Chain A
Amino acid sequence: EVQLVESGGALVQPGGSLRLSCAASGLTVSHNYMSWLRQAPGKGLEWVAVLYSGGSTYYAESVKGRFTISRDMSNNTIYLQLNSLRAEDTAVYYCASQWQAGEAFDVWGQGTMVTVSS
């Protein structure tokens, strides 16, 4: 069974930092496109960042320069480092893979909540 499990969400003050983790099983993170997406409370879905199998990364303009996506192949895990957090970064963060359906996200984690508030 293919599964993604996120962790690391928390309450953090504006300007603070956090690292989210996404542990994969049933697929190899270094062989697939791995993304982070987010959903603010009561709002729609927003793609945040992608890490391609070749190692290239791309970011949404809203997080560029503040967030960093990375991977640990030995643990089959991807990460999202969130720096300089703002209130508008408050959201459920999902890890997802474009595994077998082209550029559609066919595998999703359960999500982890990040709240930025003083």
Chain B
Amino acid sequence: DIQMTQSPSVVSASVGDRVTIACRASQSIDSWLAWYQQKPGKAPKLLIYTASTLETGVPSRFSGSGSGTHFTLTIINLQPEDFATYYCQQATSFPPWTFGQGTKVEIE
């Protein structure tokens, strides 16, 4: 199975900050990488797929980059509603699909 590793586990930030979250795959997944946002008690929400494609309705302050084994999610001008936990997922053609362990973005 492809292992996904996120860093850091927790990010402390303030409104207006720029936040970067890293995700590493244990083997190349080309651009088959998705990012999700999850708030407490809610289902995950897809933000980005194929590494850099913004899901419809997601604000442009979110962006994704990378390919192969190294990927990043960047949030610029952090807003109060962005404090949440973020997960990466390898979205290759075949299961099992695996997720990173999550990165919590908390208020500094």
Complex contact B89–A104 (CB within 8 A): yes
Chain A residues contacting B50 (CB-CB under 8 Å) are: 101-102, 104
Interface of A is mostly: loop
Instruction: Contact check, A46 vs B49: say whether CB atoms are below 8 A apart.
Output: no
Indicate if the CB atoms of B99 and A46 lie closer than 8 Å.
yes
User: Within the assembled complex, what's the spacing in Å between the Cα atoms of A58 and B46?
Assistant: 22
**Docked complex: A46-71 residues within 8 A CB-CB of B:** 46-47, 50, 58, 60-61
Q: Which of B34, B53, B96 contacts A60 (CB 8 A)?
A: B96
Known contacts A45-B44, A47-B97, A47-B98; A102/B87 CB under 8 A: no
| Min CB gap B15→A, angstroms | 26
The reply to whether A50 and B44 form a contact with Cβ atoms under 8 Å apart is no
How many B residues touch the partner, as a band? Answer: 20 to 34
B46 touches A104 (CB 8 A): yes
**Which residues in window 23-59 of B have CB below 8 A to A?**
32, 34, 36, 38, 42-46, 49-50, 53, 55
Contact between A108 and B43, CB atoms less than 8 A apart: yes
Q: How far is the CA of A105 from the CA of B89 in the complex (A)?
A: 9
Q: Assess whether A58 is in contact with B95, with CB atoms less than 8 Å apart.
A: yes
A110 at interface (Cβ–Cβ under 8 A)?
Answer: yes
Report the minimal beta-carbon distance from A14 to chain B, rounded to whole angstroms. 25
Assembled-state Cα–Cα distance A35/B32 (Å): 18
A94 / chain B contacts, CB cutoff of 8 Å: 43-44
Residue B65 is within 8 A (CB to CB) of chain A in the complex: no
Apart from A45-B44, A45-B87, A101-B49: 19 A-B pairs, beta carbons within 8 A: A35-B97, A45-B36, A45-B99, A47-B95, A61-B96, A101-B50, A101-B53, A102-B32, A102-B49, A102-B91, A103-B93, A104-B50, A105-B34, A105-B36, A105-B44, A108-B44, A108-B45, A110-B43, A111-B43
10 contacts between A and B (CB under 8 A): A44-B99, A44-B102, A46-B99, A47-B95, A47-B96, A101-B53, A103-B91, A104-B49, A105-B36, A109-B43
